[in-house]
Each structure stands twice: as structure tokens, then as C-alpha cells.
Structure 1
């Protein structure tokens, strides 16, 4: 019987650029494949097939790189069924220091409960806001009465329309009371000062972020 594998775009060591873990050294496992067609995707190269690796090979590479955090990302990592046993084995070794970043098109319900889940909510400028999975919002809202909150949401806005869409969603659902909501700007498409002013004017209960890795390195560079 052949050993199950995952299609890996790249595995690299860098600084966590987004989420509530921004700034920490992190080893990234980027899975190949997505197909959802977000207009301002910054990892379109992950659409192409990568290298087939089994779980033990992946973990061995993560150990070699060494970092206090490990993140599974994509592409869309939840498209590959073997990502679930990978998450389990990573959690067995790194405990609460395993992150999953997903485009939000697929439910995170099957992900290992120890994984910290970072879910993108796609605004209108992406062209795929109608593909946001409502189950992820429901799962985030269920955290409201629990101290251990392992789902956070991320919204990257490119213009005023995106911001108003996000404000309406957050106000209507009460998501900021149930989980951390990170809001940032699409690099090069909206000045950070504009978003900061909108958040302050509306007293919006979100945490502003910048795509840190794009300010440290060339924004088009891979492997960071």
C-alpha cells in the first residue's frame, strides 16, 4: 500500500506576517491548489502542482527548519484530505503552536480542535465574497461563551466598499464579541491610514494589521 502524500508548494521559515501571531518566527507549510479565483490573491503560484511529500517527510523538514510556530497555509489547504492527519501529528508534537490559515471557502469543522484557525473572510473586491462559508462564521460565534478561542477571522480590504461590507457583517453578527477579528489593507491598493481612520471613526472593535512580510521584504518575493 502506498503512503498517502500531500502536494506541497513550499515549506519555508519566515516571520509570521499576519494574524494575532504576527511578528513571530514561523515555519510555513504551503499546500498547492485552490481554484477559487480571488482577484488579489498574492500566492497564485500555489495554484500549480508542487512536490508530493508524505507526512513524515513534511514533519522532518519542519523539524530541520525549527521555529516556535508552525502554520499550514495555501493555496487552500483544506482541499487535500491528508491535511487532517497532518494537523493531528503536528499538534501531537507542537501542541498549541500549530496554525491553519484558510481562505474561508471550506468549513474548518473537521480540523484538529487544538489548531489555531485563521479564517479569511473575502470582501467584494475579491470577486468571491459569495463563496464565504457560513459554517465558519457560525463556528466562530459559538466561541463567545468559551475562554479558549481558537478561531480568528481576517478581513483584507482594498477599498471603502470592502470596509463598509465588513462593518455591516461584523455589526450584524456580533463577531468581534466572539473572536479576534483582524482587519488589514490589501498591499498597494489602500493606504493604511485610511483604514485606521475608518476603524477609529466607527469605534469598530477590530484589531488592525499590516501584511508585515511585505514591508520587510519585496512584496512579490516567494518563501517569506
Structure 2
């Protein structure tokens, strides 16, 4: 099989900051490019390609960072077809492989060993109409063990976003089978306010803060 060529923004080691794996040392492979325009995107620089590397070169660079967890992120990693080969090659190394995706593209066909962290974009993002609802269907149809490999993440900026997220979860009770994460857009909603709303409504979600931003608030990349 010919190695795929990937557009790379950066490869670095940090602390995993926003998933059920938060707090663990993690190697990050940030793929370049994204065709969407989320209002609160904090990695706009990832639209630019810094390097073009083969899957083998990417795997070697990631393994050299000596972490048990490797995350593929972006940009939007699923916009590059070669990411599928990369995910499988990383899984074959025995590492835990995470994929963080904006939630616009179906995750069907991804190596089942990959742990998928899928955004559900609320109205304030400006992109809520592009959520790929097929991913919710895929999670429901997955067997009990495979459902553990799905996480859905909602990042809210205001009360309207929260109500949208709450109503979506009432219509599609993902939290009964998958981990559902909920956090705030930094600087736009107080975390304590979100916590109060979650408690008032008895939502079965895991609230999270962006740990990497708390640790390194001045870093704009590589965190």
C-alpha cells in the first residue's frame, strides 16, 4: 500500500485538555485545513500547512514523543482522506488513538479502535446547521462495546446554546450510551453558570474546562 501524504500544521506533546482523557500526557497530530468557519475557533492557524509528511513519517514523529495516547486533531482531520490510513497505522502501534473532529463529516468507516470525540456545534458557532446528525445515528447503532468509543462534545457560549444542547439531548439521549461532554466558550460564559444549569436540569453530562488553557493561557499553539 502506498503511503498517504498528509498536510500537517503541527505535531507536539502536551496534556490532553478536553475529553474523558483530560489530564493525561498526549502526543497531538494537528492536521492542516478546514472548510468551516466556527466563530470561536481557537486554532485558525491550522488552516495553513506547515509540512507535508507521509503517514510513516507522521507515525515516527508521534511515537518519538513517547506518550501512550496520541490524538489526531485539526483543522478538520477528516477532510484529508489519508487520515484513515494514519489512524490505522497508529492503532497498530498499540497506542490509544483519539480523533477529535468538528462533527461535520460522518465517522463511518473509521478504524473501530479509534476513540472518537465529536463536536455538536450550537447556534453561536455559526455552523450548527452543518452538524452531521448521521454521527448520532452511528453511535446509537454501534454495539454496547463500540458505543464506548464515541464521545460527543458541546461547547456553549450563552443560555440559548445551553437550551439548544439540552433539547438535543432530550430528543437524542446520547448520554444513556455515550459520554457527553459540555464546556464553555472561554471568556463568553462563566463555568459556574453552566454548572448551575446542568444541576438544575439534572443533565447526565460531564462538564469540562479546557485544562490546557488553564495551564498555559498565553499559548496560542502547541498546547
SS in 2 for 1:155: strand
Other-structure match for 1:37: 37
Contact 1:213 1:219 in 2 (8 A): no
CA distance in 2, matches of 1:211, 1:50: 25
Other-structure match for 1:6: 6
1:67-90, CA deviations, whole angstroms, 9 ceiling, x for partnerless residues?
Answer: 110000000000001000100100
SS in 2 for 1:78: helix
1:90-126, CA deviations, whole angstroms, 9 ceiling, x for partnerless residues?
Answer: 001125x100000000011021110000001100000
CA distance in 2, matches of 1:3, 1:177: 39
Q: 1:151 to 1:219 in 2, by over 3 A?
A: farther
SS in 2 for 1:111: coil
How many angstroms does 1:3 deviate by? 4.9
1:27-65, CA deviations, whole angstroms, 9 ceiling, x for partnerless residues?
Answer: 000000002000000000001122100011111111211
Within-5 A mapping of 1:68-83: 68-83=68-83
How many angstroms does 1:12 deviate by? 0.3
Within-5 A mapping of 1:206-217: 206-217=205-216
Contact 2:17 2:23 in 1 (8 A): yes
| TM-score, normalising length: structure 1 | 0.96
Structure 2's unaligned 5+ residue stretches are: none
SS in 2 for 1:130: helix
Within-5 A mapping of 1:53-72: 53-72=53-72
| TM-score, normalising length: structure 2 | 0.96
1:108-158, CA deviations, whole angstroms, 9 ceiling, x for partnerless residues?
Answer: 102111000000110000000000001111112224x61342111000001
Contact 2:4 2:85 in 1 (8 A): no
Other-structure match for 1:47: 47
Other-structure match for 2:145: 147
CA distance in 2, matches of 1:111, 1:2: 19
Other-structure match for 2:157: 158
How many angstroms does 1:187 deviate by? 1.0
SS in 2 for 1:94: coil
CA distance in 1, matches of 2:131, 2:103: 6
CA distance in 2, matches of 1:94, 1:18: 22
CA distance in 2, matches of 1:65, 1:191: 35
CA distance in 2, matches of 1:111, 1:71: 14
CA distance in 2, matches of 1:21, 1:112: 19
Structure 1's unaligned 5+ residue stretches are: none
